[in-house]
Chain A
Amino acid sequence: MTEPEHAVEQARAAAATMRAQGAYRADRPTKPADADPLENLFEWAMIDPDLREVRSTRKLGAPVTMLKLGLVRLLNQYHAELISQQTRFNVHVLGHVRRLETRIEELERKVGAQEQTRPDE
């Protein structure tokens, strides 16, 4: 019998043996490269509500979902105005953040260069 304390060890050995025999080759999960945080922010800055979330979670809620979707359609002009104003704000803030980041990088480069040229005290 395998004791629970030894199960992981045994599974590791079995996985290594199986791999040596050619198993576990396909579909090995790969970690996606981390996205640039600012790129993520730019994607999120464009307000784009997902209409799949406009729904009823009640049993037999289909008519309620239809009603909600109808209301969204009726208010389309208002939402378009709201979304455009919010997106305008987000994009401008992010542009400002990007310019500040560039300035900070430049300043850090300058300070670094000055420290390198300063004679030892």
Chain B
Amino acid sequence: MRVHQLLSGAGPHDAITSEAVSFRARFHAWGWDGKDYAVHVAPGLNGHIRMLKRFKPKPEDILLIHHSAGAPRLRELLALPNRKLLLYHNVTPAHWFWEHAPNVAVQCAVGREQLPALVRSVEVAAADSAFNASELETLGATRTAVIPLLVDYGRLGPPAPAHPPPPTPPTVLFVGRLSPHKHQDAVIQAFAHYRRERAADARLILVGDPISSRYLEFLRNLADTLAPGAVTIESGLSDAELGDRYRAAHVFLCLSGHEGFCIPVLEAFSQDVPVIARPAGAIPETTGDAAVLVEDSDLAVVSELIHLVVTDADLRAELRRRGQERLKLYSPDRVADRLREAVQATAATPSRW
């Protein structure tokens, strides 16, 4: 069997690109052939991911389309007679981006517009969470599969020993693209409360690539105003460096307003870091009962939760235990089984053409 993967964009710190690379390794192990293509390929990935304009499949090839943003020339692609499997990673609603990153907003608006055509044109529609799959069902997909993101959590290294806890000062961590829908601004505000009322020496680490320079500047200014000298913003970290940030953290705080899956909460589980999160989008489904989910808009409550999780050793231990249990659901082998089933179902379905 030959399976080609098609992405809208490919970058070195992009979760979907990493997943496509992991999928390819699995395909290779299963004896399946094929190549991976993207419309935009970041420098440094040339060779692993090819430019889509070179894409010329044979009619019997299976196409695995990763959809996470607007893709040019999609109509051309959907008109191909090949059997297609859609893997929907969610497209963040454009309204989050118009102010700080209009180019991203346009891509997201187009990506959402393209979704109905994609659903109509593929043999099998899959998504990486039930939350995302429900969007496909709303658009008329009758048979959906859930294939969680395939992530190698081992790449971050082993977790730090549970005892003793990470050395002081208390460290709050959030990992995710610096973007309005991730609400790093609320994380900074909640942290500033916590620092002022509970732990004057606390520090906050935000890791992620900024969606635009102006949004990065906005966050830096906010941090300098509310918690001068206590907030570090980092991007472009290696896996080893990212693992170090998790191992140094006392709590992982996610106040995102929209998440289609949220790999970083699972990374936090893998590193035994207790998680506090807003129950937005797919977060409750991803965390199960292994995180403290807080809906309150009052950031004083979030601040008190941080204090509780940092100081209550038994609560931390219980969250760590549940996190490790939760992680078993997302083991790479389990995800790979679901992927294989979905591809085989696509191959077994008669082509729409």
Contact = CB atoms under 8 A, between A and B. Distances in A.
Nearest to A31: B297
Contacts of B226: 27
A8 B301 contact: yes
A7 B193 contact: no
B298 interface: yes
A1 B305 contact: no
B102 interface: yes
A57 B76 CA distance: 31
Interface in B255-307: 289-294, 296, 298-305, 307
Contacts of A5: 289
A4 B193 contact: no
Interface stretch (B199-207, B309-317, B345-353): B309-317
Nearest to B44: A58
A29 B102 CA distance: 26
Main secondary structure of the interface of B (DSSP, over half): helix
Interface in A9-24: 10-12, 14-15, 18-19, 23-24
A55 B213 contact: yes
Given A18-B197, A27-B192, A58-B43, A11 B301 contact: yes
Contacts of A7: 292, 305, 308-309, 315
A81 interface: no
A15 B307 CA distance: 11
Contact of B304 (A3, A15, A55): A15
8 contacts: A1-B314, A1-B315, A3-B318, A4-B319, A7-B308, A11-B305, A15-B303, A53-B213
Interface of B: 43-44, 98, 102, 186, 189, 192-193, 196-197, 212-214, 217, 226, 236, 289-294, 296, 298-305, 307-309, 312, 314-315, 318-319, 322
Interface of A: 1-5, 7-8, 10-12, 14-15, 18-19, 23-24, 26-29, 44, 50, 52-53, 55, 58-59
Given A2-B314, A18-B300, A58-B43, 15 more contacts: A1-B315, A4-B322, A7-B292, A7-B309, A8-B294, A8-B301, A15-B304, A24-B197, A24-B300, A27-B193, A29-B299, A44-B102, A52-B213, A52-B217, A53-B213
